[in-house]
Amino acid sequence: MNAAIASTLVLCLMPSIQLPIGFWQVAPANRVTVDGEAVEMKIVKTRAAVIIHGMQLYPIRPEKAAKPQQHDYQMPKSLLVEALASDFDVYALSYAQTITVDGISVSEGVRSNIEKLRAAGYKEIVLIGHSAGGMIARHFVERYPKSGVTKVIEVCAPNLGSEFATINLGLPKLQIPIIKSLDPKTRTNISEYSKPLTKEIEFVCVVCKVRGIPSDTLVGLDSQWPIDLQKQGVPASLVAINHFDAMKASHSVNLIGELAREKLVRWTPEQVETGRQILFGREADMAAIKKADVRERPLLKLLGKKLADR
């Protein structure tokens, strides 16, 4: 077992990991907690959505990685927040990017803030994680299935890593642990220790793809919808968008909002196989939902129609 895997597993076994966490209520706009400072929540809806950002490199100002930074798509007036606000009270979760993604997912700050939502009385809690944020959401519900989270939406998450994490030159020193925790070899080995998802938690992979290539430019399709999630019947929804715009473009944002609102069910082995043939086959570019005014539907609905026609 190499050092990266060993250190990640040690972090996950620790009872409590202290890490700077930022937590804001962005719809209706209201700061909740920043570095432990508490502000009363504005409870308006019965459902809460939590947006968890991915990793962002800070090569010029590496010290920024040590503090939670709110990303643009987590802001109150972003397309994503506005798409969710009609049905959810929306929260933004941020974290210091100085330890592995697995360690972040079991940190005290992540757990305590999600537990506050459950204590506030929300009937549904949906975690929406972009890139590394999707993995944080996944590993959180694997470790804490009774946390109150009812749904996870992974958006272009590198479940089996990204080749870009194998680059060793010019990395911000503070961010080396989180970067190296996304190395494909590390992620593949750690996936062997993953706990199965409880059936009570809805789960979906939003798989992002750039036309003509089997990736979103950063994460491969097989990493975004990995075999271990396929075996658990986790559905996938395919959208034509690159990695960096997935939480900002109107058609992908509308898809995320739709998946957050609707009931999701696990796929049968036959549905998974049909999904594999489409997502990893020649039909992928055609099946991917593109612009809002194009009448092509996300893979969830496309497969539903194909199966209903049989």
Cα 124 from Cα 42, distance rounded (Å): 16
Q: What is the pLDDT of residues 53-99, one digit of tens each?
A: 999 999 999 999 999 999 999 999 999 999 999 999 999 999 999 99
Alpha-carbon dihedral sign for residues 257, 258, 261, 267: negative
**Model confidence at 278: pLDDT above 80:** yes
The CATH number of residue 158's host domain is 3.40.50.1820
Mean per-residue pLDDT over the chain, rounded: 89
Cα 25 from Cα 202, distance rounded (Å): 23
**Model confidence at 246: pLDDT above 70:** yes
Helix locations, the chain, DSSP H: 3-13, 79-85, 101-105, 108-120, 132-143, 176-180, 184-191, 221-224, 227-231, 250-261, 269-279, 284-287, 299-308
The total number of structural domains that make up the chain: 1
pLDDT of 31 reads 67
Q: Do residues 206 and 252 lie in contact, with contact meaning Cβ atoms separated by under 8 Å?
A: yes
pLDDT band at 32 (very low <50, low <70, confident <90, very high): low
Q: What is the pLDDT of residues 147-177, one digit of tens each?
A: 999 999 999 999 999 999 998 888 899 999 9
Domain of 63 in residue numbering reads as 3-308
Least confident residue range of 21-35, 167-181, 221-235? 21-35
**Model confidence at 37: pLDDT above 80:** no
Q: What are the structure tokens assigned to 48, written together?
A: 């809460």
Q: Which has more confidence, 11 or 125?
A: 125
pLDDT of 306 reads 44
**Model confidence at 300: pLDDT above 60:** no
